[in-house]
Amino acid sequence: MTQQLWWYSVRASGVVAWVLVTAAVVWGLLLSSRSTTRPRPAWVLDLHRFLGGLTFVFLAVHIFGLMFDKWVGFGPRELFVPMESEYRPGALAWGIIAMYLLIAVELTSLAMKRLTRRIWHAIHLLSLVVFAMTTVHVLTAGTDARRAPVQAFAWASCVVVVGLTVFRIVMRAAAARRRRSFARRLDAHDALPTRTLGPLDEAIDALRHDESRRHRMAARLGHHRDTEPRSTPR
């Protein structure tokens, strides 16, 4: 491959990896907020995992292309250690840190069954940080940052991710309020005397009373039949 083709592969793989990270985060937010029933949540989860795995493929192509590109001359130190590159060190540091966070998120996802829910959830939330750092990396280090489609996708993706994050927080807060309200109602129901029960509780008590009356009447009828004198056959 010529140097120009290596550089094109670096640019294309970097943009595609950014798009895949964005899609994985969006699908993850839709799944966690339980805001989708069609397609099914199981299908959304499979797609979320597939997008995360596919991101690593294009990330590997991106790094592999940078190692073979001779225009800047990246080595392992510049590609894996933040602030060691002479070419835009700050911009490259965003991408390097995002890469390490993405690896942590993916590894904990694979080992989710062996971790507690709290630990897994805390690490998995770093995917939002990965999205933010990747976006900054593309807009500061990439040569395509000034192109209109790249800027339009950056703004649109930020709006969607922020909107879904706020929606998720609001939905979780509303669910927590409903759980607390239901718990308070249960506690108040146990503490109230019988005369202060609501219409629903009174209806339930009436049904229970009618059921006990039917049982008593059935028992009396059975007893009456047992004690009734039987006619002897002739």
Residue 231 inside a domain? The answer is: no
CA nearest 30: which of 17, 18, 42?
A: 42
- The pLDDT mean for the chain works out to 80
Using CB atoms within 10 A of its CB, is residue 136 exposed (0-12), middle (13-18) or buried (19+)?
middle
What percent of the chain stands above pLDDT 90? 31
| DSSP string computed for 77-94 | HHHHSTT--SSSHHHHHH
Residue 200: domain span: 194-226
Please check whether residues 208 and 142 belong to one and the same domain: no
Contact 10, 87 (CB under 8 A): no
DSSP conformation class of 7 = H
**What is the pLDDT at residue 232?**
42
Residue 184 inside a domain? The answer is: no
Please tell me which of 21-30, 91-100, 223-232 the model is most confident about, judged by mean pLDDT: 91-100
| Number of Cβ atoms within 10 Å of the Cβ of 21 | 25
Please check whether residues 48 and 98 belong to one and the same domain: yes
Please check whether residues 202 and 172 belong to one and the same domain: no
User: Phi and psi dihedrals of 57, rounded to 5?
Assistant: -60, -50
Q: What is the pLDDT of residues 164-183, one digit of tens each?
A: 999 888 887 887 787 777 77
Please check whether residues 14 and 124 belong to one and the same domain: yes
Residue 206 inside a domain? The answer is: yes
| DSSP string computed for 37-103 | -SS-HHHHHHHHHHHHHHHHHHHHHHHHHHHH-TTTT--HHHHHSTT--SSSHHHHHHHHHHHHHHH
Q: What is the pLDDT of residues 39-98, one digit of tens each?
A: 565 776 788 888 888 999 999 999 988 888 777 678 888 899 999 888 888 999 999 999
What percent of the chain stands above pLDDT 70? 73
User: pLDDT class for 219, splitting at 50, 70, 90?
Assistant: low
Residue 4: is its pLDDT beyond 80? no
Residue 231: is its pLDDT beyond 50? no
Q: What angle do CA 22, 25, 29 make, to 5 degrees?
A: 140
**What is the pLDDT at residue 86?**
84
Please check whether residues 138 and 208 belong to one and the same domain: no
Residue 234 inside a domain? The answer is: no
Please check whether residues 12 and 85 belong to one and the same domain: yes
Please check whether residues 104 and 211 belong to one and the same domain: no
Q: How many domains does the chain have?
A: 2
Residue 187 inside a domain? The answer is: no
**What is the pLDDT at residue 188?**
67
User: pLDDT class for 233, splitting at 50, 70, 90?
Assistant: very low
Which CA distances in Å does 76 have to 11, 62, 66, 85, 142? 19, 13, 10, 10, 19
